[in-house]
Amino acid sequence: MVGHDAAAALAIDGEVVAAVEEERLSRVKKTSDFPAHAITWCLNSAGVDLDQVDVFAFPWRFSPTVAEEMISQICDSDMPVTAKFDALRGTGELYNGMISRDAVYDDFVRRTGYELDPNKLVLVPHHLAHLMCGAYLAGGGDAAFLVSDGRAETLSAVMGELRNGVVSVFDESSVPMTSSLGVAFGRITRYLGFVPNNDEYKVMGLAAYGPPPHHNPLLERVVRLHENGSYTITTPRDTGAYYALFDSLFGGDSEKREQFDFRVKVAGLAQHMVEAITAHQLRTLTARSDLDHLLFEGGLALNCVANTKMLERSPFTGMEVSFGASDPGVAIGAAVYAAGLRNRPTDAVTTPYLGPSYDDRQVLETLAEYADRVEWHEEPDGASVAERTAELLAGKNVVGWFQGRSEFGPRALGNRSILANPAFPDIKDIINLRVKHREPFRPFAPVILESEAPRVFEMGKKTSSPYMTFVFPVRKEYQERIPGACHVDGTARAQTVDERQNPALARLLRAFTARTDVPCLLNTSFNVAGEPIVCSPRDAVECFLATEIDYLVIDRFVVTKKAG
Ordered DSSP codes for 182-202: HHHHHHHHHHTT--TTT-HHH
> Phi/psi zone of residue 414: left (φ > 0), alpha (ψ -120 to 50 degrees), beta?
left
Would you call 52 helix, strand, or coil by DSSP?
Answer: helix
Distance CA(474)–CA(478), nearest Å, equals: 7
Which parts of the chain have pLDDT scores under 50?
Answer: 1
- 445 bridge partner residues: 523
Ordered DSSP codes for 297-362: ESGGGG-HHHHHHHHHTSS-SEEE--TT-STTHHHHHHHHHHH-GGG--TT----SB-S----HHH
Would you call 80 helix, strand, or coil by DSSP?
Answer: coil
- Taking each helix axis from N to C end, the angle separating 304-312 and 200-207, rounded to the nearest 10 degrees, works out to 60
Residues in the chain: 564
Give span(s): CATH 3.90.870.20, the chain. Answer: 360-561
Ordered DSSP codes for 107-123: HHHHHH-----GGGEEE
DSSP 549: -
- Reported as type and span, the H/E element at residue 375 is strand 374-378
- Reported as type and span, the H/E element at residue 430 is helix 427-430
Cβ atoms 374, 561 nearer than 8 A = yes
Give span(s): CATH 3.30.420.40, the chain. Answer: 7-62+100-130, 139-321
The superfamily in CATH containing domain 139-321 is ATPase, nucleotide binding domain (3.30.420.40)
pLDDT, residue 1, reads: 44
Pairing state of beta strands 7-12 and 293-297? unpaired
Taking alpha carbons only, the member of 467, 204, 192 closest to residue 326 is 467
CA geometry: angle at 437 spanning 429 and 507, to 5°? 65
Distance CA(110)–CA(99), nearest Å, equals: 15
Distance CA(438)–CA(236), nearest Å, equals: 30
Distance CA(541)–CA(557), nearest Å, equals: 12
pLDDT, residue 238, reads: 85
Distance CA(424)–CA(233), nearest Å, equals: 44
Count of Cβ atoms closer than 10 Å to residue 116 Cβ: 15
Computed on alpha carbons and rounded to an integer, the radius of gyration of the chain in Å comes to 24
pTM for the model stands at 0.96
In CATH, 7-62+100-130 is 3.30.420.40: yes
Q: How far apart are the first and last CA of the chain?
A: 45
CATH-assigned architecture of domain 360-561: Alpha-Beta Complex (3.90)
DSSP 151: -
Tell me the CA distances in angstroms from 14 to 10, 42, 118, 320, 331, one per residue in order.
Answer: 10, 15, 22, 21, 14
Sign of CA dihedral 275, 277, 279, 282: negative
Taking alpha carbons only, the member of 338, 270, 308, 562 closest to residue 460 is 308
Cβ atoms 295, 163 nearer than 8 A = no
Distance CA(35)–CA(41), nearest Å, equals: 10
Distance CA(220)–CA(218), nearest Å, equals: 5
Taking alpha carbons only, the member of 386, 415, 419 closest to residue 403 is 415
CA geometry: angle at 401 spanning 396 and 404, to 5°? 160
Distance CA(363)–CA(367), nearest Å, equals: 6
Pairing state of beta strands 15-21 and 175-176? unpaired
Task: List pLDDT tens digits, range 283-325.
Answer: 999 999 999 999 999 999 999 999 999 999 999 999 999 999 9
Tell me the CA distances in angstroms from 324 to 32, 320, 513, one per residue in order.
Answer: 16, 11, 30
pLDDT, residue 442, reads: 83
